[in-house]
């Protein structure tokens, strides 16, 4: 039997576990990191060591198997980039229209789970840990950008169309995104098949797939999307910006979080 636990990284070893899992997923399994490969095989950025950054790591027994990063507002970074929150996403998007009195935002990013654990309790444990730690820190809303698993603008726009069709676009917020000038003219990672695109052009949207990340955030965490697809040049993928209110997380998800408050064990 395998013990599944989510922890806030408080030691150098736990932070190292987080960035090693990120490398395993982004650099190894998904092949999103190209060019010069660092010998340490860690995926790191300048945001990782800020005092306002929180790393969550899920362990299966002693093995780190999932992680995510929570960025809290940072005045120093906000001043440096000319933003209001000091988030990484704010380097690409003007989030001033999102910030409103009484709301405390945090940016969630680097959400990744090792392949063999992606359809297990690990995902719920990670979300539950994020929820509990965010409540503890007074966060009211998350902002993020969900991976659309494609470098095709056509396919990314179709995913956005399907999100709107399912009622997942926010009625409260709208953020403009820059033109995806860095996106490839000829995509190498399509998401939809020619038949699926043809169905969409005919308006036959029922049954068409939505990428896993945005569907998960919308259904399980109550997230709503706030913009058209945004191209992330560092990972060579389109993403879909979103906001999720902690007070609007579906009851079913909260019930699952509550059930995890008692230590449990699950088979590997």
Q: How many domains does the chain contain in total?
A: 1
CATH of the domain at 9: 3.40.630.30
Boundaries of domain holding 171: 2-266
Residue-wise pLDDT tens for the chain (268 aa)? 889 999 999 999 999 999 999 999 998 888 887 766 777 889 999 999 999 999 999 999 999 999 999 999 999 999 999 999 999 999 999 999 999 999 999 999 999 999 999 989 999 999 999 999 999 999 999 999 999 999 999 999 999 999 999 999 999 999 999 998 899 999 999 999 999 999 999 999 999 999 999 999 999 999 999 999 999 998 999 999 999 999 999 999 999 999 987 544 333 3
pTM, whole model, 2 decimals? 0.92
Instruction: Name every residue whose Cβ is closer than 8 Å to that of residue 31 and which is 6 or more positions away in sequence.
Output: none
């Amino acid at each position: 039997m395998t013990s599944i636990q989510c922890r806030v990284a408080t030691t150098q070893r736990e932070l190292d576990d987080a960035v090693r899992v990120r490398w395993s997923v982004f650099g190894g399994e998904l092949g999103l990191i190209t060019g010069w490969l660092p010998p340490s095989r860690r995926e790191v950025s300048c945001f990782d060591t800020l005092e306002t950054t929180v790393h969550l790591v899920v362990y299966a027994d002693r093995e780190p198997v999932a992680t995510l990063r929570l960025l809290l507002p940072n005045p120093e970074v906000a001043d440096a980039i000319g933003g209001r929150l000091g988030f990484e996403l704010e380097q690409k998007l003007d989030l001033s229209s999102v910030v409103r009195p009484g709301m405390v935002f945090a940016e969630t990013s680097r959400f990744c789970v090792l392949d063999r654990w992606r359809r297990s309790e690990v995902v719920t444990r990670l979300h539950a840990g994020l929820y509990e730690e965010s409540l503890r820190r007074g966060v009211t809303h998350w902002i993020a950008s969900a991976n659309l698993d494609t470098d095709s603008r056509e396919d990314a726009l179709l995913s956005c169309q399907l999100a709107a069709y399912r009622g997942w676009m926010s009625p409260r917020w709208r953020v403009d995104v820059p033109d995806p000038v860095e996106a490839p003219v000829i995509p190498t990672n399509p998401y939809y098949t020619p038949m699926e695109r043809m169905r969409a052009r005919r308006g036959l949207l029922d049954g068409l797939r939505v990428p896993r990340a945005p569907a998960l955030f919308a259904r399980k965490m109550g997230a709503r999307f706030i913009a058209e697809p945004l191209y992330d040049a560092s990972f060579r993928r389109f993403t879909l910006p979103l906001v999720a209110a902690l007070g609007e997380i579906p009851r079913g998800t909260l019930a699952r979080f509550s059930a995890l408050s008692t230590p449990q064990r699950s088979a590997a």
